[in-house]
Amino acid sequence: MGLTRWFWVRHGPTHQTAFTGWRDVPADLSNTGAIARLNAYLPKDAVVISSDLTRAVTTADILQDGRTRLPHASEFREFDFGEWDGRHFSDISETDPDRARAFWEDPGSVTPPGGESWDNVAARATPVVESLTEAHAGGAIIAVAHIGTIMTQIAAASGQTPSEIIVYKIEPLSVTCLTHDSTRGWQVERINHRP
């Protein structure tokens, strides 16, 4: 079936200074030079899919550029931060210090109140990744998503734990490339590449 390449792109910057999960905030796509370099780096024959949140959709709209667009995937949304969404990190650390510490230091099953854990996000995103990998075997897929979703897929591809992955930086408009073939399985090619 050949090598299937996933190009995970984090959406454009939002300039938020608080937890931003399912709040539908826009992306700042004014850095046309960075977007042009990113677009030129990505394969022209790839299909494009995105989370259904506005910041991912509008970033994918720009990167579509003649590529085949697939329907949005709500499964690729950022973590649902529940009651933490829209609150500053320092506020959470003061009001819910034990849970906040556990969420960052031992990610996996820890959830914000009314929100999702790392395991929840991986469980909703991974089946879609597997299905698209099969449907587009030997091809290329550009997925515009969010830092949390991208990290769950790095963990799935590398076999590393959430605690090992959470130290990575995934910047806006960066590319994380994961590949799959039937012989070697998943491989991590690059993380947080800025073309």
Q: Is the model's pLDDT at 1 over the cut of 80?
A: no
Instruction: Say how many C-beta atoms besides its own lie within 10 A of residue 174's C-beta.
Output: 20
Half-sphere exposure of 39 (CA within 13 A, CB side): 17
Q: Find the radius of gyration of the CA atoms of the chain.
A: 16
Q: pLDDT for 83-127, tens place per residue?
A: 999 999 999 999 999 999 999 888 899 999 999 999 999 999 999
Please state the φ and ψ torsions of residue 166, each to the nearest 5 degrees: -65, -15
Query: Given this model, what pLDDT does residue 79 score?
Result: 96
Three-class SS of 79-108:
CCCHHHCCCCHHHHHHHCHHHHHHHHHCCC
Cα–Cα distance between 108 and 160 in angstroms, integer?
Answer: 12
CATH fold, domain 4-193, is Rossmann fold (3.40.50)
Cα–Cα distance between 20 and 24 in angstroms, integer?
Answer: 8
Cα–Cα distance between 36 and 40 in angstroms, integer?
Answer: 6
Alpha carbon distances (Å) from 38 to 34, 45, 52, 137 = 6, 15, 21, 23
Q: Is the model's pLDDT at 64 over the cut of 80?
A: yes
Q: pLDDT for 173-189, tens place per residue?
A: 999 999 999 899 999 99
Q: pLDDT for 140-169, tens place per residue?
A: 999 999 999 999 999 999 999 999 999 999
Cα–Cα distance between 37 and 119 in angstroms, integer?
Answer: 33
**What angle separates helix 54-64 from helix 32-41, to the nearest 10 degrees?**
60
Residue 107 φ/ψ region, left for φ over 0, alpha for ψ in the -120 to 50 degree band, beta for the rest: beta
pTM of the model: 0.96
